[in-house]
Structure 1
Amino acid sequence: MSNSSSAAKAPVLPHHNWDEQFRVLYQSSSEWIATHWLQIAIAVAIAAGIASALIWARSLGPRLASRSSSGKGWPAVFGRAIQRTGTLFIILLAAKLVSGFADAPWPVARTINVLFGVAAIFQSAAWAREVIIGAIERRTRSDAYSGEALMSAMGLIRVLVSFAVFAIALVVVLDNLGVNVTGLVAGLGVGGIAIGLAAQGIFADLFAALAIIFDRPFRRGDSISYDTSSGTVEEIGLKSTRLRATNGEELIIANRKLLDKEIRNNARRPFRRTTFTLGLAYETPLEKLDGFPALVKGVVEAAGLTYIRCGFMGFGASTLDFDIEFDSESADYAAAYEGRHKVGIGLLRMCAEQGISIPYPTQTTLTAAPDGKLIMPYPDSPEPA
């Protein structure tokens, strides 16, 4: 059990006695070439064919990328990733595939495996970098999210992604080669914390911008409500998002603050509902009160809106209150505003035609003397005849 554990932790290529290692590799390679030259020649020919096929497959990358006319789709992203396949990786892959056929000795086969492992790790890092950056560019270049600030920030994003991906690849390679990477990982962690603390505001806004791009709570052109403000999204930037309020003001909100509170995206509403209360006089006949919802429905539909409901809501101080609800079949605020105006004027006209009174609150003040008798300003009423 202890022997297997020790073997698992042993370096792939021991770093001591390099001269002896190279001497053994040279001697075994010479003997192998002298005794297996025919197999080696066949293996080299097969490897050349495999490498040629892989290089041809790599040339398909630009064709795949050209399938997307805008250069923003996933075919373009994967096409550019395929283009980043290195020739050294292709050669080592072909060599690894044919090394068993050529009956390579252990030192040669082990060297090929180690070199291929290193190349495969860095090649995977290059592919991952291209896919990650391509995915981010695919969002930032779209018409709904494009902005000068975000496009200029792509340089910083490329540097950060490249550093992170290749730093991880380097740590993995060194660990596979038997190097103790504990100190390196700790150093990278401390350095990352220091950089993060120094620029936490910038990174917070940057990651918030990326969250907006990928989570898509809203996009450019959407009408949103945030906290006590509302407006149309004009630009999603690196640090802030700009809104155009209905009164023409430009609202600039930090991205991290924008995501900290509830956002209502009005552009994704299938309709806008309007609700208001209309009070009728207590003197209104019961038959007119009972038929009032039907009259309201006619007014709403005549305005081109969708009637939802109308009904008695409660007894007010001076009115019988009716609740009225109707929808504008559009997310456009201007259309809902115009519809509310038409319904309001239509209700006033309908009440006037039906003889229904809409009273306003009034108060009657009675002034009494200490003995309870009414006094001025109310004049004494004449005695009845």
Structure 2
Amino acid sequence: MDKALEWLKNNSDLLIHYGIQTILAIVIFIVGNKIAKFVGKLTAKGLEKRKVDKAVASFLSSIVHALVFAAVILMALSQLGIQTTSFVAILGAAGLAIGLALQGSLSNFASGVLIIILRPFKAGDYVEAGGKAGSVQKIEIFSTELRTPDNKVIIMPNSAIMGGPITNFSREATRRIDLVIGVSYSADLKQTKEVLESVLNAESRILKDPAYTVAVLELASSSVNFVVRPWVNSGDYWPTYFALMENIKIALDDANIAIPFPQMDVHLHKDA
């Protein structure tokens, strides 16, 4: 006990020095972490005020936060007396090893950079990518957040998005509705076409330019198939689609034009 007290007495200045340094390092870390978050949020708000896409602002603010936080860690280690130059070298070597082990994460990061540069979509666009579909909410460093029409959140790795086809349903102002309507072979084709055109003419959301198309598509096994292709504003696609399906059925019923079920003729041959 006496030896311990004597050691504390002889090294009290050193303990006080390192104690203060440790406390300062902890304070730097805590305050720096808050500053990093604040700078990240400030960057996002500044980019949004400049009317930068919300997804891009989210991605860039995440990078800024990561860079500031890395600087804070180096400052805290320097306060403890650790030589940051050698630490950075060690960190670089460790980073190479970790990078080889985490190739997927690096691929996600690189894909996120490509998304920002190429901009195949922006926040709010409804897209289909990587086998999933939804509205783009934000782009993070490693992933992109989508929200489905039934309010499910999908976190998609950026590499999965950039690794396949991307369908953007919101980029163009207009979209074409493609319907195939089958009628009986006994139906009057001219009358059927007039009925279909009357339904389209009565729908106010259908655009006049480009003009819609109503034509015989094929003589199928059980029906004569008409193709119905009107153009609408992208935001009116699904409401118009549902309305047309209902109104076409009602109009064909009123005109006594049958929509046939799939059918097959069976011929029986009796042996003599």
1:56-108 per-position Cα deviation (integer Å, ceiling 9, x unaligned): xxxxxxxxxxxxxx7549xxxxxxxxxxxxxxxxxxxxxxxxxxxxxxxxxxx
Equivalent residue number for residue 300 of structure 1: 200
Which residue among 218, 222, 230 is the counterpart of 1:326? 230
User: Which residue identity does 2:54 align to in structure 1?
Assistant: D
Runs of 5+ consecutive residues of structure 1 not aligned to the other structure: 1-69, 74-137, 161-188, 372-385
1:202, 1:361 → 2: CA distance?
Answer: 51
1:201 Cα offset (Å): 3.3
Specify the SS of the correspondent of 2:176: strand
1:153, 1:209 → 2: CA distance?
Answer: 11
Equivalent residue number for residue 146 of structure 1: 57
CA spacing shift, 1:233–1:191, aligned 2, 3 Å: same
1:283 Cα offset (Å): 1.6
CA spacing shift, 1:363–1:72, aligned 2, 3 Å: closer
User: Which residue identity does 1:154 align to in structure 2?
Assistant: V
Equivalent residue number for residue 238 of structure 1: 141
2:266 is aligned with 1:356: no
Identity %: 23
Query: Based on CA coordinates, which of the two structures has the bigger radius of gyration?
Result: 1
Equivalent residue number for residue 256 of structure 1: 159
Equivalent residue number for residue 310 of structure 1: 214
Which residue among 174, 184, 188 is the counterpart of 1:271? 174
1:155, 1:248 → 2: CA distance?
Answer: 29
Specify the SS of the correspondent of 1:154: helix
1:157 Cα offset (Å): 4.4
2:267, 2:246 → 1: CA distance?
Answer: 37
Specify the SS of the correspondent of 1:219: coil
1:196 Cα offset (Å): 4.0
Equivalent residue number for residue 109 of structure 2: 206
Equivalent residue number for residue 221 of structure 1: 124
Give TM-score, length-normalised by structure 1.
0.46
1:142 Cα offset (Å): 5.0
1:336, 1:142 → 2: CA distance?
Answer: 24
Runs of 5+ consecutive residues of structure 2 not aligned to the other structure: 1-44, 71-91
Contact 1:235 1:242 in 2 (8 A): yes
1:240 Cα offset (Å): 0.7
The answer to which structure, 1 or 2, has the higher relative contact order (CA under 8 A, 6+ apart) is 2
1:223 Cα offset (Å): 0.7
Equivalent residue number for residue 183 of structure 2: 280
CA spacing shift, 1:345–1:145, aligned 2, 3 Å: same
Specify the SS of the correspondent of 2:225: strand
2:237, 2:253 → 1: CA distance?
Answer: 25
Which sits farther off after the overlay, 348-357 or 335-344? Answer: 348-357
Specify the SS of the correspondent of 1:342: helix
Contact 2:177 2:231 in 1 (8 A): yes
Contact 1:274 1:325 in 2 (8 A): yes
